[in-house]
Structure 1
Amino acid sequence: MPFIVGLTGGIGSGKSAASDWFAAQGIEIIDADVIAHQIVAKGQPALEQIKEKFGDWVLTAEGEMDRAAMRAHVFAHPNALIDLEDITHPAVREHAKQALQTATSPYVILSAPLLLESAEAGLAKLCQRVLVIDVNEDLQLARAGARDQQSHDKIKAIMANQLSRHDRVAQADDVIINEADLDALYAKLQPLHEQYLQLASTYR
């Protein structure tokens, strides 16, 4: 396994912008969100398990996962989320591990919104360091609302399912406060990139 830096942050924190910057430096990005979509693609074993658990209604006429129906079901039945994650999270971890083993950049970024939450703890355990992109809640609401065109109530519901800022930061090795523009963010990432290169060079 290469030297792995876990990257996380609440909704609207700028985690994706940080991830894109690392990618521009030639660092491979393993994105748990991308993997989560891949594992429930048509014909994948995880999607078949979900159908067996919940019923045929989880599939569209084309045999793909009906995400809107699943979101509504999980919202109405909180325990259903636990059942869903029992299927998807082990598959995400396994695919992430496979991707990490084939990575060739000096170090690798493992990006996951729920890296530190209990259900995703298996991902955090893969990392040598954890980097949190932090931002105040007012900015989270403003940025996420502008980006996703979602209501503040929906964004607050997403935030409620994530760790609090305090708890997330408490578990981080490195924290970047991202409350200015992109240039300011990039300037803060540069020394961390150099640090990670140094750490990776002595890691084995």
Structure 2
Amino acid sequence: MLTVGLTGGIGAGKSEVSRLLASHGAVIVDADRIAREVVEPGTEGHAAVVAEFGDSVLLPDGALNRPALGRVVFNDPERLAALNAIVHPLVAARSAELQEAAGEHAVVVHDVPLLTENGLAPRYDVVVVVDASPETQLDRLVRLRGMPRDEARSRMAAQATRAERLAVADHVIDNEGPLEALQARVREVWEQLRKRA
């Protein structure tokens, strides 16, 4: 089994690369998706978040109100650390289960947005960074996601720098050009990953 950490700045196109790798046969372990699953109503994570943050972070149906929770933790490192202390161990345990189920010859791609920020590169056999210029990232966030320019800049500033991400990369997938170029580069990287596995 080959474990791959896949990361990239917001708006760089990591989700598209993840989808393309899955189409080639990679087993995708998506940290963001798992982070949502482990706090769904009825889970241990949901109960722990409500115990820590109260009912004010719930929607009427009992699900977490993510924007409300985000406002509580975004500018408060202590509250963010409390949330992470609940969610991160649950995500790690679920990720490990999915990896174990993948089989010994699998290429398991862990889609980890904050891989660089959290110093997680050493956990993987290979790190793949999806790269785009800050100008391209900003344009995509504003144009494609409808994000206000100031919010997009603030989200980008909260992440690792481009240089920090590139410093941990074993493979870089440039995502500045057309989709065909991205598909071709992902295919090249996939072939190299398959050989290593």
Q: Is 1:186 aligned to 2:194, yes or no? A: no
State the 1:76 CA deviation.
4.7
Distance across 1 between alignment mates of 2:69 and 2:11: 24
State the 1:4 CA deviation.
0.9
State the 1:164 CA deviation.
0.5
Q: Which residue of 1 aligns with 2:144?
A: 147
Instruction: Give 4+ residue runs of structure 1 displaced > 6 Å after superposition.
Output: none
Distance across 1 between alignment mates of 2:76 and 2:5: 31
State the 1:36 CA deviation.
0.8
- Superposed CA deviations along residues 42-95 of structure 1, whole A, max 9, x for unmatched, are 111111111111222222222211112111212353431121111111111111
Moved more, 82-91 or 104-113: 104-113
Q: Which amino acid aligns with 1:174?
A: H
Q: Which residue of 2 aligns with 1:75?
A: 74
Distance across 2 between alignment mates of 1:125 and 1:151: 35
The 3 A distance-change label for structure 1 pair 41 and 125 is farther
Q: Which residue of 2 aligns with 1:13?
A: 12
Distance across 2 between alignment mates of 1:135 and 1:11: 10
RMSD of aligned residue pairs (Cα, Å) = 1.5
State the 1:176 CA deviation.
1.8
Q: Which amino acid aligns with 2:195?
A: Q
Distance across 2 between alignment mates of 1:50 and 1:125: 29
Q: Which residue of 1 aligns with 2:25?
A: 26
Q: Which residue of 1 aligns with 2:108?
A: 108
TM normalised by structure 2 equals 0.93
Distance across 2 between alignment mates of 1:72 and 1:5: 32
Q: Which amino acid aligns with 2:36?
A: H
Moved more, 187-196 or 33-42: 187-196
State the 1:37 CA deviation.
0.7
Partner secondary structure for residue 185 of structure 1: helix
Partner secondary structure for residue 79 of structure 1: helix
Alignment of 1:11-160 (within 5 A): 11-104=10-103, 106-118=106-118, 121=120, 124-160=121-157
Distance across 1 between alignment mates of 2:74 and 2:109: 31
Alignment size in residue pairs: 196
Moved more, 60-69 or 95-104: 60-69
* Residues 116, 164 of structure 2: 8 Å contact kept: no
Q: Which amino acid aligns with 1:26?
A: G
The 3 A distance-change label for structure 1 pair 63 and 101 is same
Distance across 2 between alignment mates of 1:106 and 1:91: 23
Distance across 2 between alignment mates of 1:76 and 1:158: 12
Where do 5+ consecutive residues of structure 1 fail to align? Answer: none
State the 1:125 CA deviation.
4.1
Distance across 1 between alignment mates of 2:46 and 2:157: 27
The 3 A distance-change label for structure 1 pair 110 and 76 is closer
Q: Which amino acid aligns with 1:61?
A: P
Identical positions, percent? 37
